[in-house]
């Protein structure tokens, strides 16, 4: 499985993948431009628009400077090269700076934990203290998998105590380790400089800061999954051990948050893609397809399935949850995701109808009602269905979202920097603007990179991450959306950005 920037055999299926990805990037460019225009016209005053213009100019200058910056580290990373020790130092500095910035953000913003974040904290403390009151809640009976994150973090409660800030800082550490993985995965095949640019951009990404001060299961799950991918890519000659460890780590990540199946699906589609891409080539790659591609991916998937099965049963045996890490109501996400009134986001009405109504007193009745709602919401005029999908794309893949760090109760609050008082609302606007700029920059770079691949008939996109992006994009067209749900895919975007910048540096004079 190639991670990105190396050139491989180019076939019709490779060309189709590049064309598809270029189309997807173009769609997201249009969506972000349109969304940003509406946001500016609706939310910013004349003074705000002038400030936004200044930020745009500063961002453009920064991008130009980074792309023009001369360095002697443009070669593909080589662990045996003397300079590799500087990469270790860079990774350490990246982690420390990333953690420091997020910790500062946590203590300045002081987000009060709410909703699921508060629930996770309560359950974490209960598990740490051996008081499983949460098992009496219907929530943890229906969605037993939500027990995974509190159970893992209970270990830190035993070490650090019940202080919520300590637990949030542990989450910041996981987010910072993911930042390091963006760099380490990118540099496996891409230029060192571009890998560093992408990882620094990820470190400054407001989207991640917007999740840094809440007690969410996303940081640990994402870190474990990408660590598994890194090990798989780092040791391509390991046909068994690396894939087994990869599957184990993705299974652990899935135990924290049920997103590991997306990586497994990406592996399966990648296997099919490589089989079709190599078809017709009588080369060593085709002869060794079974040992170099099929078997490692097969071991990774098998490891994932076995390890998650064992992990789920461990929760049953230990009494953490009699239902293990199961999901007793998967249809719920589709019911909400197809709700036209809420644009695919959380619906209090759906929740009430499916859990509190007299109509659904048994599981069979509940599932039947859910299927009825799904069919009813799909069987609408095409224009209305397209409008729903358009709204969901806008929520998930543009910066016009809600940052969990800025809860509604904080809209009128402010914090002081010396003699100056800065409103949370202004910080929220700045985050949104910078996110728009970063999204547009990434999608434009990846669009151009895909077009270069089509024109020059070279594999310039990174198949695994393109496939993962495509699967996640498609899945969230059907299920419930929130802006923060895109977090899982953000490291992939920046890893692909490093590959795109590498391609541009070789093909376009900047």
Per-residue pLDDT of the chain (510 residues), as tens digits, is 554 454 456 788 999 999 999 999 999 999 999 999 998 888 766 666 666 677 777 777 776 666 665 444 445 555 444 456 668 889 999 999 999 999 999 998 889 999 999 999 999 999 999 999 999 998 999 999 999 999 999 999 999 999 999 999 999 999 999 999 999 999 998 888 899 999 999 999 999 999 999 999 999 999 999 999 999 999 998 889 999 999 999 999 999 999 999 999 999 999 999 888 876 455 555 557 777 888 999 999 999 999 999 999 999 999 999 999 999 999 999 999 999 999 999 999 998 888 877 666 688 888 999 999 999 999 999 999 999 999 999 999 999 888 999 876 666 677 766 677 778 888 888 899 899 999 999 999 999 999 999 999 888 899 999 999 999 999 999 999 999 999 999 999 999 999 999 998 887 654
d(C-alpha 484, C-alpha 74), whole Å: 34
Measured CA to CA, the distance from residue 225 to residue 249 in angstroms comes to: 6
d(CA 378, CA 331): 14
Task: Please give the Cα distance from 75 to 399 (Å, whole number).
Answer: 34
Angle at 156 (CA atoms; ends 150, 162), nearest 5 degrees: 80
The owner of tokens 């809440």 is: 214
* Distance of alpha carbon 175 from alpha carbon 172, whole angstroms: 5
Nearest to 264 by CA among 232, 311, 236, 234: 232
Q: Which residues lie across from 414 on neighbouring strands?
A: 423
- Our measurement of the distance from residue 163's CA atom to the centroid of its chain's CA atoms, rounded to an integer in Å, reads 27
Please state at what angle helix 295-318 crosses helix 260-278, rounded to 10 degrees. Answer: 170
3-state secondary structure of 325: coil
- H or E, element range at 481: none
Give the H or E element holding residue 414.
strand 414-417
d(CA 304, CA 410): 41
Compute the distance between CA of residue 76 and CA of residue 217 in angstroms, rounded to an integer: 34
Taking the C-alpha atoms of residue 38 and residue 204, their distance in angstroms, rounded to an integer, is: 25
Kindly report the pTM of this predicted structure: 0.92
Burial class (CB in 10 A: 0-12, 13-18, 19+), 452: buried
For residue 332, give Cα distances in angstroms to 252, 259, 363, 376, 377: 24, 16, 12, 14, 13
């Amino acid at each position: 499985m190639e991670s990105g920037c190396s050139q491989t055999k180019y076939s019709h299926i490779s060309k189709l993948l590049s064309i598809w990805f270029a189309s997807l990037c173009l769609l997201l460019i249009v969506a972000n431009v349109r969304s940003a225009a509406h946001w500016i016209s609706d939310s910013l005053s004349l003074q705000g628009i002038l400030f936004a213009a200044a930020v745009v100019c500063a961002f453009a200058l920064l991008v130009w400077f980074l792309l023009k910056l001369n360095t002697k580290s443009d070669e593909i990373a080589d662990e045996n090269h003397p300079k590799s020790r500087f990469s270790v130092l860079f990774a350490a500095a990246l982690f420390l700076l990333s953690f420091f910035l997020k910790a500062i953000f946590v203590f300045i913003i002081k987000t009060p934990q709410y909703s699921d974040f508060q629930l996770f904290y309560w359950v974490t403390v209960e598990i740490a203290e051996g008081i499983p009151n949460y098992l009496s809640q219907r929530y943890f009976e229906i969605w037993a998998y939500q027990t995974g994150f509190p159970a893992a973090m209970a270990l830190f409660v035993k070490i650090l105590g019940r202080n919520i800030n300590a637990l949030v800082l542990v989450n910041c550490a996981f987010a910072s380790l993911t930042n390091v993985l963006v760099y380490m995965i990118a540099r496996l095949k891409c230029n060192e400089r571009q890998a560093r640019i992408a990882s620094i951009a990820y470190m400054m990404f407001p989207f991640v800061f917007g999740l840094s001060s809440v007690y969410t299961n996303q940081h640990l799950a994402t870190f474990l999954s990408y660590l598994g991918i890194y090990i798989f890519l780092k040791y391509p000659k390991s046909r068994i051990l690396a894939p087994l460890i990869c599957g184990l780590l993705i299974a652990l990540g899935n135990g924290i948050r049920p997103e590991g199946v997306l990586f497994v699906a990406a592996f399966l589609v990648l296997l099919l893609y490589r089989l079709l891409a190599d078809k017709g080539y009588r080369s060593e790659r085709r002869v060794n397809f079974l040992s170099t591609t099929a078997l490692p991916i097969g071991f990774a998937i098998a490891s994932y399935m076995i390890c998650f099965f064992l992990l789920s049963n461990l929760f049953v045996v230990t009494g953490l949850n009699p239902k293990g890490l199961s999901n007793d109501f998967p249809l719920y996400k589709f019911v909400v995701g197809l709700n036209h009134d809420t644009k695919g986001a959380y619906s209090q009405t759906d929740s009430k109808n499916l859990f509190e109504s007299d109509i659904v007193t048994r599981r069979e009745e509940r599932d039947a009602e859910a299927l009825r709602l799904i069919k009813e919401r799909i069987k609408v005029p095409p224009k209305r269905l397209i409008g729903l999908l358009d709204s969901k794309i806008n929520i998930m893949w543009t910066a016009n979202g809600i940052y969990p760090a800025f809860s509604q109760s904080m809209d009128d609050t402010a914090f002081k920097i010396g003699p100056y008082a800065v409103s949370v609302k202004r910080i929220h606007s700045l985050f949104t603007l910078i996110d728009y700029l970063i999204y547009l920059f990434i999608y434009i770079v990846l669009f151009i990179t895909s077009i270069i691949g089509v024109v020059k008939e070279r594999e310039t996109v990174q198949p695994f991450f393109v496939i993962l992006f495509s699967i996640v994009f498609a899945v969230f067209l059907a299920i419930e959306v929130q802006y923060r749900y895109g977090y899982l895919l953000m490291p992939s975007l920046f890893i692909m950005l490093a590959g795109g910048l590498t391609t541009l540096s070789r093909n376009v004079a900047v």
